[in-house]
Chain A
Amino acid sequence: MYCIKCGVKLANTEKKCPLCNTAVVHPEFTEFDDPIFPENKLPKSSPNSKFICGAVIMLFLIPVAVCFFADMLKDGKIDWFGYVLGAILVGYIVFALPLWFKKPNPVIFAPCDFAAAALYLLYINFATGSNWYIGYAFELTVALGVITCTAITLLYYLRRGRLFVVGGTAMAVGGFLLLTEMLTARKFCVGFSGWSIYPLTVLFLLGGLLIYLGISRRAREIIERKFFI
């Protein structure tokens, strides 16, 4: 029996060509031999990973329960339990949620982590009756989230140009520190001391160096020759 498309000789077990997926067509041939592997028999997904995920949930639930009762026992009201619950939820989303997936994609999980952190900060802002979320915490969380998620996405999907990504990220982190100082000065009416200029300068120089190394093959070779381990 030969495949009518690619011409390869097929064993009598084959209902489709293994090379081009073309169905076997032969008017006089209807009896196939038994397949070399059983059809449609797949292993069950590993219970082991689910067991680990369940155990991790229990690990997170224990401090939740302990804190809830400790808070309630004091005066029968919930005072500070909300902060603990929020922190534990953020911790769970960051560290434990990816365990549920076989190949967790950081491009999806990183924005989720920042969204969770932003919501937690919003809760603290309202629960404490403060006014620092809009105009400070929200902007900083979004800025850091955008920098981190962009870097992760580019590093995850790009096969080349990692030096450019790392260099650019270093520069962006420098900019983030400057933004932090500016927003702190504006929101809390403290003077602009300019401390962020120092890390900004260092990170810009470092980023620039990495980008230069990305551009210049010769510079890369010199660095590799001098610093190989």
Chain B
Amino acid sequence: MKKPTRWVRLDNAAKIYPAASGKTWSNVFRQSATLTESVDTEVLRSALSVIVKRFPSIAARLRKGVFWYYLEAVENPPKIKEEYSYPLVYMSKEEMRKCAFRVIVYQNRIAVEFFHSLTDGTGALVFLKNLIAEYLEQKYGVAIPMEKGILDRNANPCEAELEDCFLKNAGSVPVSRRDTNAWHMRGEEQKRGFLNLTCFKISATGALDLAHKYNATLTVFMSAVMMKALINLQNQKEPNKKRQKRIKLLIPVNLRTLFGGDTLRNFAMYTVPEIDPRLGEYTIEEICDIVKHKMGTEITKKHMGSVIATNVNDEKNPILRIVPLPIKNIVMKAVFNSVGEKKSCLTLSNIGKVTVPDIMSKYIKRFDFILGVQANAPYNCGMLSFGDTLYINFIRNIKDPELERHFFEVLYELGVEVEVESNLNGR
């Protein structure tokens, strides 16, 4: 008898993304690994067929129920796609219905693009690492130890990996969602949905040493640099200080480090440090302190539990649950449009230091993490470090790289040497 197809409900964070997706925008992000040699697509296809069975909640498609969306595991691996001139090409609902992730090969690079309802950055990285491990094993016959995120790829997925950890870790008291709006960048949009990618490569140890001088972690320090760049950009666009808006950065927080758990589904929340530029000029040191204290007070089990409780309470509301999906979609989209992205200028997501077993590292040149742009704001930024290089990927859907220029200028003033690359040639 044929085994029934495995399905899971969307986790609490994933529920908003299908409703928020539109005709030109979907919340998709990319993780990629660049190998030392050209990718053999035949071997990759074979590796992918092993991996889709191992990760049924990630190798999935988005289906509609009467009241909620749900994820259904794909039985066969999707076709490996070719790279276009820009990453994160719009993923339509039709495409998500067939498969909500893509595997893309270009020269030495294997990239996977995930619809955000499937997983978060941490889960995606586990998926990518295991895909690479399986590929390397099949291609070169190397035995890769099960460490640093590499799992037993022939085992069945365990329940902990498929768990919705939001429900388990919700606190007892919800917090208010009221928050101030942030400054929004604008610019002349690129035609036909083209996305500009600019990657800054920095020495990870150099950046970390500098961060330590400011008594900050790398995330805090780079957030401060980004906020300083945003302040300078707003100064240029709106010289009248009194009319300036708040600079706010959305920094995702991996809740596994707080609550534990091995889930491969979404389990991240965020913190939003902010600066009011009307109050005067800020030094990097001051901004580092602001970010550090904000993160210190909010990234705690108690606070995050309360934030989760707010979201989970909505999901548990019996009246909301029985509302049919099309009506839910209209309401959720309206809420997302009016509130969702107005509370921050952009997202700066740091996956952290990517490590792989030693035997794998000699086959891998670099990893990259690229966020899609926001629905109504032109920028987003993803970063990670691999080896001694910090890769900071800016994505934007407007023509002028204004923020990148200011970001570079701030780094230059701090004495950080930067190398940039882009997909500008593809335009």
Contacts and interface: CB of A to CB of B under 8 A. Distances in A.
Contact of A35 (B90, B420, B425): B425
Interface string A46-61: 1011000000000000
A13 B425 contact: yes
B420 A38 contact: no
Nearest to B421: A11
Interface string B10-26: 00000000000001100
Contact of A8 (B86, B107, B194, B420): B420
A19 B401 contact: yes
Contact of A10 (B412, B419, B423): B419
Interface string A12-30: 0111111111000000000
A131 B264 CA distance: 72
B419 A40 contact: no
Contacts of B107: 34
A37 B420 contact: no
A10 B201 CA distance: 10
A42 to B, nearest CB: 6
Contact of A19 (B89, B106, B198): B198
B418 interface: yes
B87 to A, nearest CB: 7
Given A35-B423, A35-B426, A48-B94, A8 B408 contact: yes
Contacts of A222: none
A221 to B, nearest CB: 14
Nearest to A101: B23
B85 A39 contact: yes
A41 B421 contact: no
Interface residues of B, number: 36
A34 B192 CA distance: 24
B417 interface: yes
Contact of A39 (B405, B421, B426): B426
A46 B90 contact: yes
A9 B420 contact: yes
Contacts of A10: 419-421
B85 A37 contact: yes
Max chain B C-beta neighbours (<10 A), residue from A9, A10, A19:
A19
Nearest to B107: A34
Contacts of A43: 84, 89-90
B215 interface: no
A17 B419 CA distance: 11
Interface in B197-227: 197-199, 201
Given A39-B425, A42-B194, A48 B401 contact: no
A41 B425 contact: no
B85 A38 contact: yes
Contact of A38 (B84, B417, B422): B84
Interface in B176-204: 192, 194, 196-199, 201
Given A10-B421, A19-B408, A48-B94, A41 B24 contact: no
B80 to A, nearest CB: 15
B186 to A, nearest CB: 9
Max chain B C-beta neighbours (<10 A), residue from A6, A17, A20, A37:
A37
A223 to B, nearest CB: 16
Nearest to A21: B424
A45 interface: yes
Interface in B387-421: 401, 404-405, 408, 412, 417-421
B83 interface: yes
A102 B24 contact: yes
A70 B94 CA distance: 38
A6 B424 contact: no
Given A6-B405, A10-B419, A20-B405, A42 B84 contact: yes
A20 to B, nearest CB: 7
A37 B83 contact: yes
A225 interface: no
B418 A37 contact: no
Q: Which 9 A-B pairs have the closest CB atoms?
A: A18-B422, A11-B421, A37-B423, A35-B425, A9-B419, A37-B426, A18-B198, A39-B426, A19-B405
Given A18-B401, A41-B83, 5 more contacts: A18-B424, A38-B85, A42-B194, A46-B90, A46-B92
Interface of B: 23-24, 82-87, 89-90, 92, 94, 106-107, 192, 194, 196-199, 201, 401, 404-405, 408, 412, 417-426
